Structure 1
Amino acid sequence: MGITARGIGLLAAAVVLLAAGFRFAYPELAVLGAAATVAVGYALLTAAWRPRLTVDRHADPDRVARGEPARMTLTVRNTGRLRAANLVAEDRCGQRSVPVPLLRLRPGRDTAVTYDVPTHRRGVVPVGPLRVTRRDPLGLMALARPYGEPVPVWVHPRVHPLTAIPTGAGRSLDGRVDNVAHGSITFDSLREYVVGDELRRVHWRTSARVGELMVRENVDTSLPTIVVLLDNRAAAHPTVVDGLAESFEAACEAAASVVVAAIRADLPVTLLTVAPEPGDGGPPLDRLAAVRLVDDADGLPAAAARLRRERLGDTLVFLTGPGGRDDLGRLGALRGAYPSVVAAVLAAAEPTPAGTAGMLVIDAPDGAAFAAEWDGIRRW
């Protein structure tokens, strides 16, 4: 319950008038004081009335890439039976307020408002709750109440298409990338018998049908397993302008591009952050929308120890900023556990010296340049 400045003044005047009227025997003052008290009481009862409203929100879409349009449709319905709602309302959308007209909303009627959701920055934009303010006609009291649950809109990093995918080194019966032409694991085709072939590889049914010996041709296959390690330490991205670290945003775009490329190729991919964050589950792009910079000086040694211990894949992609260049050696030491290690330094003022940490290093000013450099890699 909030009393306005006018209400405070009228309430103080009521006290003074009543006290003066009874103290000095002026009934006129007492009547004025009583009228002011009644007015304040009426304002209190009027503002305390709680309208029966239902709120429904629909985001179209609720998940977008940074810079893409997203719209929110808010529908407010008066479920009361007797009184029309005459209210002042505003919806919360991120850091701004959106006015919602609720003047003379009759029982059983609804009103809808559609507005744009800001998507110029990566993140999770909370929309809601609806804040409804009830005022009395005299403007003495104002009571604000929330209606409806907030609805998040996920603003993902931009995804830049990648055509190159690491071939990996792990063998798998269900692999999708052939590393050798002649192997012994998965059936590939039939060919004519050549002197020296093992008889156990002869396909007798086909040989009987065609009238000559046919041999099964097998291949070794690999199922690349990609591990993306995003450096979300604040020390790795020291340049922050207006609350935004461009190097970190570029790293998030690079991570999203690698993850999406792996998913489209139907390859397993794991997304990790150097500094663990609460609620570390969910789809990778949602996690990239919610990830934030963290002050964690000891995060990288712990992350490297976990990668070495668990060996989560065969291709490790480390994405960091200018402040993480001195830590590339720690990731280079993981080459014994990961046959292919790729590091990317985003938005650095100077290029990384060739041969740093004995691994492949990509220097790129932004996510688009990273995609171009990534596709230019000839050998993993």
Structure 2
Amino acid sequence: MEHVGPGVRDVRVGAGARAGADPDGPAGRPAGRPAPGGHPVSRDGARPVSTLGWLTLALGAALGGTGWWFGWVELASAGVALLAAFGVGLVLAVGRSTYAVELDLSGDRVRVGQRAVGRIAVRNTSRRRLLPAQVELPVGRGAADFDLPSLGPGAEHEDVFAVPTSRRGVVVVGPVRSVRGDPIGLVRRRLRWTDPVDLYVHPETMPLDGAGSGVLRDLEGQATRTISDSDMSFHALRDYVAGDDRRHIHWRTSARLGELMVRQFEDTRRTHTALALSTRPGDYADADELELAISVTASIAVQALRDEREVTVLAGEGRLRTDSPVRLLDDVAALEPADAQRGSADLAGWVARQVPHASVAILVVGSTPTEAELRASTRVIPAGVRAVALVCDRRGEVGVRTDDSLTLVRVPSLADLPRALRRAVVA
């Protein structure tokens, strides 16, 4: 089989590229897989004749007709040349292409800053030689064009590309389209050969190890104000009543007082951490500060999942998936900040409604809200729930302030998160 070697190139994603499923993608076909039998998945919905093509056709007809009518040979020749160029474009665009096209990514999940490497393989499945064409690969809001040489029967051509990632997000790679037409772009015929592939660009995270154990503690549970007759946290002694478990009788005190006394306990519960992230741009000084808050939230949530602690993450339009760190990071990658979403003033109430049994509420915000506003917003958090506000302030310093209702922690960078959490534990 004839084989043409690949050429490696970087593909720019395009400014502001974010996730989005291809609305024209057919259901039931795995993303990036070729259509069966060498037939295209679908034809491009765009019209084959471009605006420039229609202008060329209209101008050629006008110049040719006017030159012929008035006997102006030069004008008629110019019109004929334009019409001929349009005709050549039509000839180059027609014809049947039979390709087997594969779009493969080395991995559909990368961390921000890493490069995702992919491959496009095009094979001629017909019994005749195919003319040169062009392969178009959309990547986010950008696109890359690959030259496809003339391929004989069974011949295959490969192109290797790399997608640099500098921002968190979900980048849609593909679908692969073949483009036939003239070099000027008067007439272009596009056929789509694969489905798109979602490339998840996860945010940068910081391993916390033991740093977060103070905030997310659950070795012995967290004591509540609810009194019970059987638990781990001793509260007081009381008189024995019929039906009490004799194992809880405090015999030494009973012997001293001459009557039976039993132990009474405070209820304990397993730590349930509620993380609420503000995705309203107005709560942040700039976009980088918002990305810092997203990375902070992801770091704490991933550490909680790895430590097998119960955690609920509220961000964007609702809850994020917390059944595994990978699914959580996929949802974090797809977060789209918007002014209509919940801000710092709404986070505490959101936690109180969605996670009423939380034992620790961590609110992640930017530097714009004031300390007084944060303290006022946390009044709706039930008594007994530890409230921690993580303020991401890239221009500040690590700092911790605490009172009876709220612990305020300032985090200037992701590298400072472990140290800030350690100081929050001591405070």
On whether the aligned pair clears a TM of 0.5, the verdict is yes
Residue deviations 1:300-325, cap 9 Å, x none? 55543332234152111111111133
Could you tell me how far apart the structure 2 residues matched to 1:139 and 1:233 are? 45
Normalised by the length of structure 2, the TM-score is: 0.65
Amino acid in structure 1 at the alignment position of 2:336: R
The corresponding residue for 2:300 is 258
The 5 A counterparts of 1:164-179 are 164-166=212-214, 177-179=219-221
| Number of aligned residue pairs | 337
**Alpha-carbon offset, residue 236 of structure 1:** 0.5
1:289 maps to 2:303: no
The 5 A counterparts of 1:67-86 are 67-86=113-132
Could you tell me how far apart the structure 2 residues matched to 1:289 and 1:343 are? 22
Please say if residues 343 and 360 of structure 1, whose CA atoms lie closer than 8 Å, have aligned partners that are also in contact. Answer: yes
Given candidates 408, 423, 427, the residue that maps to 1:361 is 408
Please say if residues 319 and 345 of structure 1, whose CA atoms lie closer than 8 Å, have aligned partners that are also in contact. Answer: yes
**Alpha-carbon offset, residue 263 of structure 1:** 0.7
Give secondary structure in 1 for the equivalent of 2:92.
helix
Normalised by the length of structure 1, the TM-score is: 0.72
Cα 1:285/1:98, change in 2 over 3 Å: same
Gapped regions of structure 1 (runs ≥ 5): 170-175, 187-197, 202-218, 240-244
**Alpha-carbon offset, residue 41 of structure 1:** 4.3
Cα 1:334/1:200, change in 2 over 3 Å: same
Cα 1:249/1:3, change in 2 over 3 Å: closer
Cα 1:248/1:31, change in 2 over 3 Å: closer
Could you tell me how far apart the structure 2 residues matched to 1:139 and 1:378 are? 66
The corresponding residue for 2:290 is 248
Amino acid in structure 1 at the alignment position of 2:292: A
The 5 A counterparts of 1:91-240 are 91-136=137-182, 141-145=186-190, 147=192, 148-162=194-208, 163=210, 164-166=212-214, 177-179=219-221, 184=230, 222-239=269-286
Could you tell me how far apart the structure 1 residues matched to 2:351 and 2:157 are? 54
Give secondary structure in 2 for the equivalent of 1:336.
coil
Could you tell me how far apart the structure 1 residues matched to 2:353 and 2:154 are? 62
Amino acid in structure 2 at the alignment position of 1:226: T
Amino acid in structure 2 at the alignment position of 1:111: H
Please say if residues 4 and 139 of structure 1, whose CA atoms lie closer than 8 Å, have aligned partners that are also in contact. Answer: no
Could you tell me how far apart the structure 2 residues matched to 1:55 and 1:157 are? 31
Could you tell me how far apart the structure 2 residues matched to 1:353 and 1:178 are? 25
Could you tell me how far apart the structure 1 residues matched to 2:53 and 2:384 are? 71
Amino acid in structure 1 at the alignment position of 2:99: L
Please say if residues 364 and 392 of structure 2, whose CA atoms lie closer than 8 Å, have aligned partners that are also in contact. Answer: yes
The 5 A counterparts of 1:275-354 are 275-276=316-317, 283-296=327-340, 299-310=343-354, 311-326=356-371, 327-337=373-383, 339-350=385-396, 354=401
Could you tell me how far apart the structure 1 residues matched to 2:146 and 2:185 are? 22
**Alpha-carbon offset, residue 179 of structure 1:** 4.4
Gapped regions of structure 2 (runs ≥ 5): 1-47, 223-228, 233-244, 249-265
Could you tell me how far apart the structure 2 residues matched to 1:57 and 1:91 are? 10
Cα 1:246/1:96, change in 2 over 3 Å: same
Over the aligned positions, Cα root-mean-square deviation in angstroms equals 4.1
Could you tell me how far apart the structure 2 residues matched to 1:354 and 1:22 are? 89
